Structure 1
Amino acid sequence: MSNQKTVPNAVNFLIGGTAGMAATCFVQPIDLIKNRMQLSGTKTSTMKIVSSIIEKEGFLAFYAGLSAGLLRQSTYTTTRLGVNSWLSEVASKDSHPSFLLKALIGSTAGCIGAFVGTPAEVVLIRMTADGRLPFEERRNYKNVFNALVRIIKEEGILVLWRGTVPTMGRAMVVNAAQLASYSQTKEILINTGYFKDNTPLYFVSSMISGLVTTAASMPVDIAKTRIQNMKIVDGKPEFKGAIDVIVRVCRNEGLFSLWKGFFPYYARLGPHTVLTFIFLEQMNTMYKTYFA
């Protein structure tokens, strides 16, 4: 608890964003596959999506939208991990925070981070989905900044916050599950006596946290993804909101389609959680060793 206080809030924000961006460089292809599966609207599989991308777009297509993914991490992850560290420090001053309080802190941090990161999220969804469209329907954004400028010019600035409510809802579920379960799992594993505060502990805690988070957040995530990628036809949006997406998916594709892409989602979220927390813990340790 005292070590936590040696890291200033500004540094917590910086370290959080940097850790998320570093992790994204490794998992961007899996994120793209997950988004394609959620937008498919039909029964498909990870291997079908992968083979289709390789055949029609080439290997480099797996990194489509990387610039948007990095911007998302620099906004969303910087904010959520920074706010989470700050609120955790405040909550720990007088007593050890309970699991419920940790979940509340995590969901609050996620909600704030999601609002800040929604514009980059909208661009990320569109850029990763573009290759699945017929050539004449593609948006063909050059990079995240070109996308932001074009969206503002062609559709209006408010479109950058399209899907904010389901994005914030997803973030609250993800962060309540991820940050709280990661912290709680670390405590439980250390208390067993088999783990020490080192990389193996971070790895196991992150993989367990990622599994919990995937199961809890996928229905909200698929609603968010489809809303942010939808087009307006004759002045009418494709979906009325997150509930409309979920109802229509259940009716047209089946209840379990809400967990469509579970494997790539977990394959993305698990390693991303692992890498983010490992980078986070290592950078915190380095800061305390060399700067505090």
Structure 2
Amino acid sequence: MASNSSNSSAAPKPLPAHWNLFAGAIAGVSEILAMYPLDVVKTRFQLQVGKSSADSYTSIVDCFQKIIKKEGPGVLYRGIAAPIMVEAPKRAIKFSANEQYRTLFKSWGLPESRLTSVLTGVSAGITEAFVVVSFDLVKIRLQDKANAGKYKNTSDAFAKIFQQEGFIGFFRGLEATIWRHGVWNGGYFGCISTIRQLLPKAETKQGTLANNFIAGTIGGTIGTILNTPFDVAKTRIQNQTLPFSSCKYNWTLPAVATIAKEEGFGALYKGFVPKVLRLGPGGGILLVVFEALSGYIRKNIL
């Protein structure tokens, strides 16, 4: 217990905002380049509704094979420009807002605890949702096979969505995005602080990287288990193009209930395997790169 408290008291100070932006952006782009094809597969599964057919995806391998064979390998990176465009502010918000909320809650007299870690994570996730919602919507529209001939590329998708749905169209699914990011960040940051304390104290730089990867991977996995139903609902909501009042899926909790009622509870976890394969190790990659860059900046620049 003594070593845990000493670890906590020796925690490094938060980086200045501009260095948080830099480290968060590099970490985020590293993760997205490595794991993006799994995000495409996840979206395809989440949009798959109705009875099975010859074109249905039955597994991750089957989905990869059908996409590559019928649409070409480039489709596995279709829509990647949108998340890369928002990656810098998104990742900066994920880490810097988490630190700022922790400082705020500490000033309110809340002690450092697992509950505070969850609360700061949820708050950072809600903040993050407002930044990413429009880019997520464009990404999902481009990832859907049914839209292959509708949007030529990312800029064309932005232009057509604005033309056909107006500026407000870019915020379709905002409430669902708040649910998804708030729940994931709460689970992620709530877990990594606890897991770091449970792991043996690292004596080397390699040990620290290993601990960060383990904590980030477990945190990413827990966050994914918690938020996948909201992610499925968000994907369905954002892929609709009808006026809001005419859509089948509107608000998150009713959408979750409709999916469970019509397709069974398991449908709320469509795309879970590719999602957890991405966000589990992806959370580890994210944390390792961010912590490594943060340490380098503190040691060599600040």
> How high is the TM-score relative to the length of structure 1?
0.89
Aligned equivalent of 2:4:
none
Aligned equivalent of 1:164:
174
Residue 10 of structure 1 pairs with residue 22 of structure 2: no
1:127–1:13 Cα change, 3 Å: same
Provide the rounded CA distance (Å) in 1 between the counterparts of 2:25 and 2:111: 26
1:235–1:267 Cα change, 3 Å: same
Please, which of 26, 33, 57 is the counterpart of residue 71 of structure 2? 57
Superposition RMSD in Å: 2.6
Aligned equivalent of 1:33:
41
Provide the rounded CA distance (Å) in 2 between the counterparts of 1:63 and 1:108: 30
Provide the rounded CA distance (Å) in 1 between the counterparts of 2:224 and 2:285: 16
Aligned equivalent of 1:275:
285
- More moved, 11-20 vs 279-288: 11-20
Please, which of 61, 69, 74 is the counterpart of residue 47 of structure 1? 61
Provide the rounded CA distance (Å) in 1 between the counterparts of 2:294 and 2:244: 52
1:104–1:196 Cα change, 3 Å: farther
- More moved, 47-56 vs 162-171: 47-56
- More moved, 168-177 vs 90-99: 90-99
Tell me the matched-pair count: 287
How far apart are residue 147 of structure 1 and its match?
Answer: 2.5
Per-residue deviation, residues 116-173 of structure 1 (Å, max 9, x unmatched)? 11111111111111xx2176xx422412x33223322221001111000010011110
How far apart are residue 260 of structure 1 and its match?
Answer: 1.5
> For 1:79-228, what aligned pairs fall within 5 Å after superposition?
79-90=93-104, 97-129=112-144, 132-133=145-146, 138-143=149-154, 145-190=155-200, 198-228=208-238
1:81–1:139 Cα change, 3 Å: farther
Aligned equivalent of 1:73:
87
Residue 20 of structure 1 pairs with residue 34 of structure 2: no
**Is the contact made by 1:195 and 1:201 (CA closer than 8 Å) also made in structure 2?**
no
**Is the contact made by 1:177 and 1:212 (CA closer than 8 Å) also made in structure 2?**
yes
Gaps of 5+ in 2: 1-8, 53-57
**Is the contact made by 2:31 and 2:286 (CA closer than 8 Å) also made in structure 1?**
yes
**Is the contact made by 1:32 and 1:62 (CA closer than 8 Å) also made in structure 2?**
yes
Provide the rounded CA distance (Å) in 1 between the counterparts of 2:21 and 2:68: 37
Provide the rounded CA distance (Å) in 2 between the counterparts of 1:96 and 1:281: 24
- The one-letter amino acid of 2:36's match is Q
Per-residue deviation, residues 228-264 of structure 1 (Å, max 9, x unmatched)? 1112179722323222321221122111111112210
How far apart are residue 271 of structure 1 and its match?
Answer: 2.0
Gaps of 5+ in 1: none
- More moved, 164-173 vs 63-72: 63-72
1:77–1:257 Cα change, 3 Å: same
- More moved, 55-64 vs 37-46: 37-46
**Is the contact made by 2:173 and 2:238 (CA closer than 8 Å) also made in structure 1?**
yes
Provide the rounded CA distance (Å) in 2 between the counterparts of 1:103 and 1:211: 15
> How high is the TM-score relative to the length of structure 2?
0.86
3-state SS, counterpart of residue 231 of structure 1 = coil
